[in-house]
A = this chain, B = another copy of it.
Amino acid sequence: MKTIPEPTQRRLIQLKQLLSQQTSEKITSKDLENLTGWSSSLIRRDISFLNYRKGVSNGYSVKELQQVICSCFKIESENTKIENCCIVGLGRLGTAILEDDFLGQNRFKIVAGFDSNVNRIEILKTSFPLYPLSHLSKVVSKMNIKFAVLTARDEEIQKIVRELVSAKISGIVNYSKEVLSVPSDIIVENISPIIALMNISASVVNKNKE
């Protein structure tokens, strides 16, 4: 099986999301161009990595294409095994994310929570167990947790990351603006709103230069 370039991967996942918002049954690469701003030939090239090859002369079936993307990346289908996740930091942000039941019908399931504040882990009502931060690496190893969502305060981040690394985590979703130092086989997605704003603002500045 051929390995898919990262930009393509990211677009396909967006595409999957976009398809789930669609009402029509069929869709063409030109339609998708209008919805995304990516060129239709780029979209066709991206889709060609999936070996779907049923689009000829009709456009794609919205439902099928969605499924093909999901199965290619093993995301969001009932027959794929659940992936254990944890959330680290149960302050306002952490609990907000929990309650906005942010993992809908995904294969990602939160199975543990951690916080340095022992009070919090006693008071909070959750459908999964909560532990003090000191148990982090032990519990992550034992429960076979693969992904961590980091919503702790900046001061705690680096210590937490060291623990996660030693527990052989596969990926980290980082809400903080701290830059994480991890070995190259651990994947980090930085989604700090400040960094996002800086990127947007920099793009605006950069565009008005030329």
Which residues of A does B touch, CB under 8 Å?
Answer: 1-4, 6, 9-10, 13-14, 17-18, 21, 35-37, 73-76, 83, 85, 91-93, 95-97, 99-100, 102-104, 106, 108, 146-147, 149, 170-173, 175, 177-179, 181, 184-185, 187, 189-207, 209-210
Contacts and interface: CB of A to CB of B under 8 A. Distances in A.
Contacts of A104: 194
Given A96-B93, A108-B201, A205-B73, A196 B178 contact: no
Contacts of A93: 93, 96-97, 100
A198 B85 CA distance: 12
For the complex formed by this chain, how many copies does it contain in all? 2
A106 B191 CA distance: 17
B21 A97 contact: no
A197 B100 contact: no
Chain A interface secondary structure, helix, strand, loop or mixed?
Answer: mixed
27 contacts: A1-B209, A3-B209, A3-B210, A9-B199, A14-B179, A17-B179, A18-B179, A35-B179, A35-B181, A36-B179, A73-B198, A75-B198, A75-B202, A76-B198, A85-B197, A91-B96, A92-B96, A104-B194, A108-B194, A146-B204, A149-B193, A170-B204, A171-B201, A171-B204, A173-B193, A189-B196, A189-B199
